[in-house]
Structure 1
Amino acid sequence: MIITINSIGVWGSGLNGWDATQAILRGEQPRVDDTRKLPPPSLLPPNERRRASQVIRLALLCAQEACQNGPYEASELPALFASSNGDGFIINRILDALASPMGAVSPSMFHNSVHNAPAGYWMIAHHCQQPAVSLGFHNETVAAALLKAATEASSEETPLLFCAYDAPIPGSLGTVRRTDQPFGCAFVLTPGAHAGPQLSLSLHNEVTETDPAIQLPVTLQDMARYNPAGRLLPLLHALAHHENHTLHLPYGQHTLTVELTHA
């Protein structure tokens, strides 16, 4: 299958948008860790804006930038939101609340704990009635999500919003699930080969994986290795340099091979 990347959105610790990220990936400026809270998406109604967690904000900022830089209206795009960890911060707060003497869980926390919360906020923000999928597949989430996005775009012959994101998990869960710094990436994808960066996806019956940190700036290597969504960083590095690249992503007992070319 071949799909074309129309536009890109990137946010994370020290990565404030695709333009700034390209400069870091090309070595034109250093990456500086940014511990400030992400701003709430301005398109959300006041109640939802106030309730949106940092993970929801991360996903929506990536998706919003990709849509703003592309030729399609956000409200017209089916969407795929993918996260390995989900909202670990909210889950940790719920576990702490359950372990407290009162054992009371805030309705807002429970509302944000479900895996499709970012997709729901996105649909509310854009009054979108297109289908949306929320996907989690542990360390193979990026492979599963890219395969799903390419299959849906090709079979439905329609552009699609793809967004992958992950953030650290605090508390005891975080000790067994290392995730280095928040990172998210979004693409607006169209089926087939068109002008621009093209991705050719193929599934192979053997497990092959390369170190995702190879060729990346030193300050991004841990993010690529220890943030599940960071497996997309080598692809972004090649896009920033306008280079071809082959990415191997383990997928069960198979490997998803993603070949990037520029037309």
Structure 2
Amino acid sequence: MIISIKGIGCWGDGLHGWTETAAILRGDATHSPDSLKLPPPASLPANERRRASQIIRLAVLCAEEACQQGGFQAVNLPAVFASSNGDGFIMNRILDSLSTPDGAVSPSLFHNSVHNAPAGYWMIGHKSHQPAVSLGLHDETLAASLLKAAAEAHVEASPVLFCLYDAPMPGSLGSARHTEHSFGCAFILTPGHESGIRLALSLKEGPCETDLPPSLPEGVTGIARHNPAGQVLPLLQAIARRQDRSFSLPYGANHVTIDLTHAHP
């Protein structure tokens, strides 16, 4: 199955948009691991903007940048949103609320706690009636969600928005599921052998061995190792450097292979 990437969005700790991130991954700029600085998503109405948590803002900003870079109208795109952790900050606040004597939970917290909240805010902000799927599969979220989005683009012969994101979880959740840094990225996936960035994806039997390339910048390596969504960073680095490379991602008892090539018109 072969698909093309037509737009990329990327935000995270010390990574403010795809242009800056690509320069860091090429070695043309230095990564400064400052805290995440997210501008308010322009697409969200005022009420939703106030209610949106950081993980929602992260996902929406990545998706907006991918659409802008690729020249696509968000309202026309079906979407696959994916996160291994979901919104751990919100879940921790709910657990704290439940541990109080009255056990009252804010409706806004409950509203934002569901796994598909970022997709819901995205659809509201863009008045979209396209289908949207929200996936989570622990450390195999990238493999499962990218395969799902690519298969949808291939079968439906239509562009699909793919958005991947994760952030640290505080409290007892963070102790059980250690995550460092905030990071997200988004692709617009289109079907076929178009010029530009092409991915050939295959599901193959048996496990695979994975390791990070030694060329990742030091600060970015931390994101790749300690954030589930950061597993995509080696692929992003190869894209930034216009390198043709092959990758393998574990997927249950099997694995997904990704062959990246840079086609020319």
Q: What is the CA–CA distance in structure 2 between the aligned matches of 1:261 and 1:213, rounded to whole Å? A: 17
Residue number in structure 2 paired with 1:151: 151
Q: What is the CA–CA distance in structure 1 between the aligned matches of 2:54 and 2:21, rounded to whole Å? A: 20
Q: Where in structure 1 are there 5+ consecutive unaligned residues? A: none
Q: What secondary structure is seen at the aligned counterpart in 2 of 1:69?
A: helix
Q: How do 1:1-263 residues align onto structure 2 when only pairs under 5 Å count?
A: 1-263=1-263
Q: What secondary structure is seen at the aligned counterpart in 2 of 1:38?
A: coil
Q: Are the structure 2 counterparts of residues 145 and 36 from structure 1 closer, same or farther at C-alpha, using a change threshold of 3 Å? A: closer
- Return structure 1 stretches of 4+ with deviation > 3 angstroms: none
- Aligned-pair identity in percent equals 62
Once the two structures are superposed, what CA deviation does each residue of 1:93-134 show, in whole Å capped at 9, x if it has no partner? 000000111211000000000000000000011111100000
Check conservation: 1:137, 1:144, Cα contact below 8 A: yes
CA apart distance, 1:219: 1.1
Q: TM-score, normalised by structure 1?
A: 0.98
Once the two structures are superposed, what CA deviation does each residue of 1:27-75 show, in whole Å capped at 9, x if it has no partner? 1111112225522212211110000000000000100000011132110
Q: Which amino acid aligns with 1:203?
A: L
Q: Which amino acid aligns with 1:16?
A: H
Q: What is the CA–CA distance in structure 2 between the aligned matches of 1:99 and 1:51, rounded to whole Å? A: 23
Q: What is the CA–CA distance in structure 1 between the aligned matches of 2:219 and 2:35, rounded to whole Å? A: 15
What is the Cα-based RMSD across aligned positions, in Å? 1.0
Q: Which amino acid aligns with 1:199?
A: L
Check conservation: 1:212, 1:233, Cα contact below 8 A: no
Q: Which amino acid aligns with 1:247?
A: F
Deviates further, 28-37 or 145-154: 28-37
Check conservation: 1:5, 1:197, Cα contact below 8 A: yes
Q: TM-score, normalised by structure 2?
A: 0.97
CA apart distance, 1:203: 1.1
Q: What is the CA–CA distance in structure 1 between the aligned matches of 2:146 and 2:110, rounded to whole Å? A: 28
CA apart distance, 1:218: 1.1
Check conservation: 2:9, 2:185, Cα contact below 8 A: yes
Q: Which amino acid aligns with 2:246?
A: T
Q: What is the CA–CA distance in structure 2 between the aligned matches of 1:181 and 1:45, rounded to whole Å? A: 27
Q: Which amino acid aligns with 1:70?
A: G
Q: What secondary structure is seen at the aligned counterpart in 2 of 1:247?
A: strand
Q: Where in structure 2 are there 5+ consecutive unaligned residues? A: none
Check conservation: 1:200, 1:260, Cα contact below 8 A: yes
Q: What is the CA–CA distance in structure 1 between the aligned matches of 2:164 and 2:212, rounded to whole Å? A: 16
Check conservation: 1:40, 1:50, Cα contact below 8 A: no
CA apart distance, 1:213: 4.9
Q: What secondary structure is seen at the aligned counterpart in 1 of 2:70?
A: coil
CA apart distance, 1:209: 2.6
Q: What is the CA–CA distance in structure 2 between the aligned matches of 1:72 and 1:140, rounded to whole Å? A: 28
Q: Are the structure 2 counterparts of residues 60 and 171 from structure 1 closer, same or farther at C-alpha, using a change threshold of 3 Å? A: same
Q: What is the CA–CA distance in structure 1 between the aligned matches of 2:29 and 2:192, rounded to whole Å? A: 34
Check conservation: 1:213, 1:225, Cα contact below 8 A: no
Q: What secondary structure is seen at the aligned counterpart in 1 of 2:188?
A: strand
